[in-house]
Amino acid sequence: MEENKTPKKITKVGDAAAEASNTEPRAFVPTAESAGKAKQFRVISIILWAISIGLQIFGIMKLYDVPINMPLLIGILVGMLILVVIANVLWKKANRLDPASEKNKTKFFIQNQLGLIISVIAFLPMVILIFTNKNMTGKQKGIIGSIATAALVIAGLTGTDFNPPSQEQYAEQTAQVEDLNGGVNNVYWTPSGRSYHLFQDCGYINGKRTNEIFQGSVANARELKKITDLCDRCENQAKKAKALKLETPSTE
């Protein structure tokens, strides 16, 4: 049974009613606010990555102390992991705000997977040097090596973007919404939703479990919630309405 549709609080995000032109799909250009946030996130990420590399160098030096300072090495690895994870998350947020173009495949890959690349640079040398260190006992290698390996895996996963955004994706998705929405780039979504919607009274979002609906552009939905899919129900409803409008003779 479909849930009762009740009035919800609508939270508008950004410029949700950007009019579309009747030409070919425009290239996606982030707003000044989004570009500014992306730049800030990237600067912070670079600083955090640089600090983590500095800790790595310090940790490598401490690997050759006799005796080995186990608590210090563990602390270094944990500190590096925290810094790298925060940097990776911020970098991916920046890429959603200001995505790269797919036209340059190399640049596109590096920009979207830079977190993974830095994670490998930060932790893989430590892992190799730990297991090849002649100053450490087998037990020490097992403990520190396991922690370093786990840190490498965790950092690598947080740094990998399995669904990287692109300017072309944003432009294509925006054009689809504008085509179905009378030329307006306006969608709705919920805090826990996985799709954006063309209609705020769609049964998938306007139910008893929903207290707030967000309204904004396609880019807003992806920036804030990583939402990339258009609701099938809304899409079909919009297509039917569009077809009916085309079939109905004009009275003018």
> Distance between CA atoms of 221 and 177, rounded to whole angstroms?
12
- The answer to whether the beta carbons of residues 112 and 101 sit under 8 Å apart is no
pLDDT of residue 204: 84
DSSP structure class, residue 188: E
DSSP classification of residue 67: S
Contact 70, 144 (CB under 8 A): yes
Strand partners, 19: 184
Helix runs in 160-231, H state only: 167-180, 218-225
pTM over 0.75: yes
Span between the terminal Cα atoms of the chain, in Å: 42
Q: pLDDT for 186-216, tens place per residue?
A: 999 888 888 899 998 888 887 777 778 889 8
Token digits of residue 199: 């209609």
Structure confidence at residue 60 (pLDDT):
95
Low-confidence ranges of the chain (pLDDT < 70): 1-9, 12, 14-26, 248-252
d(CA 4, CA 207): 6
Residues in the chain: 252
Please, what's the b/e burial string for 92-124 (b: 16 or more CB within 10 A of its CB; e: otherwise)? bbbbbbbbbeeeeeeebeebbbbbbebbeebbe
